[in-house]
Structure 1
Amino acid sequence: MAKLQREPLQLDLQRNTAARLVEQVADGLALLIERGELRSGERLPSVRQLAESHGIGASTVVEAYEQLVARGMLLARRGAGFFVAARAGQSGARAVFMPHEPVIDSAWLLSEMFADERVPIKAGCGWLPGKWLNDEGLHQAERRIIRSPGAQQVGYGHPFGYAPLRQLIAQFLGHWSLDVAIDQVLTTHGATQGLDLVIRTMTQPGDTVMIDDPGYCNLIAMLRLAGLNVIGVSRTPGGVDTDMLETLARAHQPKMFFTTSVLQNPTGTSYTPACAMRVLQAAERHGFWVVEDDIFRELGQATDPMLAALDGLQRVIYVGSYSKTIAPSLRVGYVACQRELARQIVHTKMVLTLTNSEINERLVHNVLTEGHHRRHVQTLNATLLNAQSTLNAKLADAGLAPFTAARGGMFTWATLEGSGLPAREIADRARQKGIWLAPGDFFHLGAPEKASFRFNVGYADVPELFDFFRSL
């Protein structure tokens, strides 16, 4: 019996659209495979045949075929051509991933929250809405990267980081009266890696360190993972409790104090000038380092003190980042410190991770120099301040007490009075209603006395959240 011949493939290709022909060919073939019109194991037309039948270039077909190989829909066999790959479920039962019910605890906050799409209202998350970021500036920077010579896009880069970006960082710090040379600045994979490199370089298991309480939950986990004795210093609306800091420093002789001077996570508070001076005086008296985690500096006010500038990097190590004003996915941060200490931290960095992604660092440099970043930050600051003011008023109306008056930034910290329920239980009830809360337990070293929560001003202004708290 004669074998039936398949009709030639017909793909609907549009020449006068924004979609590239490569994507049209790849998507058209993928649709035929999904419909079963191209069956598992079937050989596709040769590159030349498909190109001639559709009046397109052979390179277009090759690229489309390779895209489908990368997607796992085609197999490439040397000398034989391209074949439809077996789909899941054809050779056995389809494997179905059933994610477990989330438990709102610190482990979920640290490892799963970024990918968990089952909780639609992310009132407690730690990132800004994409529409509030400078997407056009980032796209322009990406186009400049694409047009740059290939030699600039390969290789490991410099151990200290991309020099033009480090020079911009030095200039930025100079605007805050911190005179720093380029060899005192090193780039990191976000501020979190910067903190980790400082910890690994300057502490040993068993050392005592102090931190803000409540404070950054990732930092608490890092310090405990390093085997350090961690002591909390109470956060106040004007910075930290400096009397408590003095007492603890005298009693425990800590190696370091990790603190956030501007728009702290989770409380949204900033140091007053008086608080900043007292912290630096205590560091001088008791001989401890101050690590200033200052990733929200651009979102703060011009009068907010910078510990590193007041100290001249004598006892302060400065950590910054671009995740809040450009894009968190770029993971570009930096450390500024004494020259010799910078060399030690770079050595730790190279041992652990080699260099950072120079492409990402070039992207950040392009965003900072393309001319729109300053205006974007000004607009973002106004948006955040307005959102925080509105949110604080609505939280108060729903029975919560904000920790401070609105002064900008991403976060509001508020306490629920009189419910009698622990924050974890409240957060679990909220999750069942599709609301993700960040309870205060995550940010305290010990069990907090009151049910407090961190709210993200970009996500928390929704009626369901306020109705939920009223129901308690």
Structure 2
Amino acid sequence: MSQPLRLALDRGQPASLVEQIVREIERARHSAVLHGGMRMPSIRQLAQAHGISTFTVVEAYDRLVAQGVLIARRGAGFFVASDDPAHDMPRPRPRAVAREVGNAWLLSEVFADDSIPVKSGCGWLPDDWLDEDGLQGALRQLAKGAGTRFVHYGHPQGYAPLRQSIARRLADIALDAHADQIVLTHGATQGLDLIARTLLHPGDAVLVEEPAYCNLLAILRSAGLHVVGVPRDAAGLDLAQLESAIQTHRPRALFLNSVLQNPLGTSLSPACAHRILQFAEQHGLWVVDDDIYRELAPPNAPALAAMDGLHRVIYLGSFSKTISPSIRVGYVACAPALAAELARTKMIGGLTTSEINERLVHLVLTEGGHRKHIERLTDRLARARSRLCTQLTACGLSLLAKPDGGMFVCAALPEGTPSSREIAEHALTQGIMLAPGEFFVTQSEPCHWFRFNAAYSDDARLYRFLETTLSAAHAS
């Protein structure tokens, strides 16, 4: 700098010297006293010029770097950041546009792509549908906690008060589980992975619903398992096909969503649930119930784990669909010995989960407003789901099943139209994300149906696209 930088610092102000330095440099940047690329005074120079500690300047510069106001260059000092961040860092390689809609795209690229305006095929809820108020309140409460420590590893099974709270909530569905039977996980997805790596070995046969949760299929395949589909309809699994698959493949486990199944949105009938448990007991089969939509379901939905007492059933839950997916807190409830094994596998693969996030969830659940949030969310989803079903049928699609609740509706195009994957790839060029049926089946065979997310489908562009697609198919 040609002229020394003078900052208006006042030790009598309530604001700390660090805060004043940050504020003054930001003000100089906005008023063009400082401009992009300009070299800042060294830490020692600024400290001597203002009669302050070098430690104060270090902290202020660090904050400004973190905020993107300054750039730190090793061996050269600190520089004012440019208005265009591209001038301050190596230009990244452009990310290729997804040309083929496939499972890998759904599992990775779609989370990184904010440019798609209509996300009818996604698997999450909009930000303003989630419990952001509860989460912000929990953050404030956690920050004010006297004597709370945040810097240590958590317990291998997770934050004990949250596990105790989950145990009390499971009692609401008549599931008697102790906190020691619960292992907190990095979302339900990690729970599924822990179960696969703890109980199963490459080459083992496992059964899944057909159609099934697409991420589950990827997890099981990556573990080297032989995945066999069993057809599912509105009432549940096809029991004759289930019995045949058990006798033919001798599977180690059955993975399912007992309630608000992804993608169909239906729940097991009591009769089907009882028969599944009979098969499990008779054939020594683990039943893995990924029950993450339970809070969005009608209160009388059957609970496999409660019917079984966590003998052969392994129960998974999550708070991603009701509080926030960003906190990544899920859990597994199971027999005590298995819980200890899962905790060991968890520690081997990634040590403990985030106790800070687990504390936040515990505060949200116990502060008193979460149940009201769930009531509002289920009501909002019911209205959105009703509109979606009406619109889809008006466009000429047929529902695969009438959902019992939750986020998803599956609907099929008439025979003779292109495959759902082809249509999804064309939709993406129009700024519309669709989830084709091929994502949810064990065999890569052409399908003609899609999974729609009710929370993201209230958009005229989606229905214009579907009507145009059907008109083009009929014309050809």
1:469 maps onto 2:466 in alignment: yes
Structure 1 residue aligned with 2:157, among 157, 160, 167?
160
Give distance in 2, aligned partners of 1:398 and 1:98. 37
Asked if 2 retains the 8 angstrom alpha-carbon contact of 1:160 and 1:186, the reply is: yes
Q: Which residue of the partner structure matches residue 91 of structure 2?
A: 95
SS at 1:355 equivalent: coil
SS at structure 1 position matched to 2:455? coil
- Which residue is equivalent to 1:376? 373
Contiguous gaps of at least 5 residues in structure 1: none
Q: Deviations over 1:116-161 (max 9, x none)?
A: 1222111111110111111111011001111124652111111111
Alpha-carbon spacing, 1:376–1:90, altered in 2? closer, same or farther (3 Å): closer
Q: Corresponding residue for 2:473?
A: none
| Aligned: 1:37 with 2:39 | no
2:46 alignment counterpart: 46
User: 2:323 is matched by which residue type in structure 1?
Assistant: I
Tell me the CA shift for residue 250 of structure 1.
1.6
Q: Does 1:386 align with 2:383?
A: yes
Whole-angstrom distance in 2 between the partners of 1:148 and 1:161: 19
Task: Report the AA paired with residue 28 of structure 1.
Answer: R
Give the aligned partner of residue 252 of structure 2.
255
Question: Structure 1 residues 90 and 415, CA, compared in 2 at 3 Å: closer, same or farther?
Answer: closer
The correspondence of residues 20-419 of structure 1 with structure 2, limited to 5 A, is 24-25=23-24, 27-28=26-27, 31=30, 37=35, 39-43=37-41, 46-47=46-47, 63-71=59-67, 73-75=70-72, 82-84=78-80, 95=91, 97-102=93-98, 103-149=100-146, 151-419=148-416
CA distance in 2, matches of 1:293, 1:243: 23
Report the CA distance between 1:404 and its aligned residue.
2.2
Structure 2 segments unaligned to the other structure (5+ residues): 470-476
Which among 443, 447, 457 is matched to residue 446 of structure 1?
443
- Cα distance per residue 1:288-317 (max 9 Å; x no partner): 110000000000011110100011111100
Could you tell me how far apart the structure 2 residues matched to 1:7 and 1:284 are?
Answer: 78
C-alpha contact 2:420 2:436 (8 A) present in aligned 1: yes
User: Contact (CA 8 Å) 2:158, 2:184: kept in 1 or not?
Assistant: yes
SS of the residue corresponding to residue 382 of structure 1 reads helix
Contact 2:209/2:256 (<8 A) preserved: yes
Alpha-carbon contact 1:258-1:290 (below 8 Å) kept: yes
- Partner of 2:378, secondary structure, is helix
SS in 2 for 1:107: helix
Q: 1:129 to 1:253 in 2, by over 3 A?
A: same
Amino acid at match of 1:196: D
CA gap 1:8/1:419 in 2 versus in 1, 3 angstroms:
farther
User: Residues 2-61 of structure 1: CA distance to partner in whole angstroms, max 9, x if unpaired?
Assistant: x963674689xxx99xxx86774464355468x962543342772575799xxxx99986
- In the superposition, the TM-score normalised over structure 1's length comes to 0.89
Take 2:431 and 2:87, find their aligned partners in 1: how far apart are those partners? 36
| 1:113 alignment partner, SS class | helix
Contact 2:266 2:405 (C-alpha < 8 Å) held by counterparts: no
Deviations 1:243-268 (A, max 9, x none): 21111112211100000011111111
Q: What secondary structure is seen at the aligned counterpart in 2 of 1:212?
A: strand
Letter of the structure 2 residue corresponding to residue 99 of structure 1:
R
CA apart distance, 1:77: 8.0
Give the deviation of 1:465 after TM superposition. 0.4
Name the CA distance, whole Å, in 1 between partners of 2:87 and 2:449.
51
1:342 Cα deviation after fit: 0.8
Quote the Cα distance in structure 2 between the aligned partners of 1:142 and 1:58: 32
**SS class of match (1:46):** helix
Conserved 8 A contact 2:46-2:57: no
Q: Find the aligned partners of 1:50 and 1:297 in 2 and give their Cα distance.
A: 61
Which stretch shifts more, 238-247 or 334-343? Answer: 238-247
Letter aligned with residue 66 of structure 1: D
CA contact (8 A) 1:188 1:194 kept: yes
TM-score (norm 2): 0.88
Deviation at 1:98, TM superposition (A): 2.0
d(CA) in 1 for partners of 2:302, 2:77: 66
RMSD over aligned CA atoms reads 3.0
CA gap 1:248/1:149 in 2 versus in 1, 3 angstroms: same
CA contact (8 A) 1:300 1:409 kept: yes
